[in-house]
Structure 1
Amino acid sequence: MAGDARRPKGFGAISLALGGIASGFLAATCCALPMLLASAGLGSAWLVGIAVPAAPYRLWFVAFGAISLVAGGVLLARQQMRAARCGADGLCVPASLRFVTLIGLLLAAVLLWLGYRYA
């Protein structure tokens, strides 16, 4: 039990960010990702195997991604407040973990916007 108290907090926000990235990716596979990859000079034929089964559920993926982003943003804000209150010897969420969470949430937001806008 004492080992759990020393474990850094913040993995819930990362999990929500990864869920948002996954659902944003699935929502954007039909239209936005092929356009982005083609404009970058990369092939996107491999997305057909993902896009066809995911297409009927695109709005569900967008909804799940939006919920994940909101919850991840709330957890990230709580992490920031906890880090601000943390003293030199307190248990804090590492700054690198907060930064990775923020980047993941931003990436998920872009993918969700692209999946909603271009489909």
Structure 2
Amino acid sequence: MRTGSRGGARTSGAVLLTLGGVTAAFGVAACCALPFLFTTVGISAAWFGGIATTAAPYRDLLLWLSALSLAGGTLLLWRMQRSTATCDSERACTPVWLRLILFIGLLTGAALLWLGYSYV
């Protein structure tokens, strides 16, 4: 089997964009939304103080960075999914488990981004 360089770059790009988007969205949500939700459930949220203090001045930048990263990760995941439908035995295809993990990561990032945007 041959491994194309475009498929590997697309996969690593989707992983990096998804991780970057989730991390930036976590920074946005750490200020207000996550401590509120964790306290409501009964989980201590005191450890968010340091993250919230660091991320608060960069909230707008993190919002945009997260939205762009998640959109880019979604686009690359969509392209992976589309190319997998036409995958043959001569090309290496992206495994189903990796596409599922990316999809769950993108949903988590979108939820954190929405929480961070709406609770402030």
Q: TM-score, normalised by structure 2?
A: 0.90
Three-state SS of the structure 1 residue aligned to 2:81 is: helix
Q: Write the distance in 1 (CA, Å) between the matches of 2:113 and 2:17.
A: 14
Partner AA of 2:61 in structure 1: W
Structure 2 partner of 1:55? 56
Structure 1 partner of 2:25? 24
CA drift of 1:75 comes to: 0.2
Task: Indicate if the aligned counterparts of 2:3 and 2:92 stay in contact, CA closer than 8 A.
Answer: no
Q: Write the distance in 1 (CA, Å) between the matches of 2:37 and 2:14.
A: 27
Moved more, 8-17 or 49-58: 8-17
Partner AA of 1:108 in structure 2: G
CA drift of 1:41 comes to: 1.0
The unaligned stretches of length 5 or more in structure 2 are none
Task: Indicate if the aligned counterparts of 2:24 and 2:66 stay in contact, CA closer than 8 A.
Answer: yes
Q: Write the distance in 1 (CA, Å) between the matches of 2:16 and 2:91.
A: 24
Task: Indicate if the aligned counterparts of 2:24 and 2:62 stay in contact, CA closer than 8 A.
Answer: yes
**CA distances 1:57-100 after superposition (whole Å, capped 9, x unpaired):** 11110100000011001100110011001024531011111101
Detail structure 1 runs of 4+ shifted over 6 Å in the superposition. none
Identity value in percent: 44
Three-state SS of the structure 2 residue aligned to 1:98 is: helix
Partner AA of 1:23 in structure 2: A
**CA distances 1:21-77 after superposition (whole Å, capped 9, x unpaired):** 100000011110001111221101111111012101111101000000110011001
Q: How many residues align?
A: 117
The RMSD of aligned alpha carbons is: 1.9
Q: Write the distance in 2 (CA, Å) between the matches of 1:44 and 1:106.
A: 23
Matches for 1:1-119 after TM superposition, within 5 Å: 5=4, 9=8, 10-119=11-120
Q: Write the distance in 2 (CA, Å) between the matches of 1:59 and 1:82.
A: 35
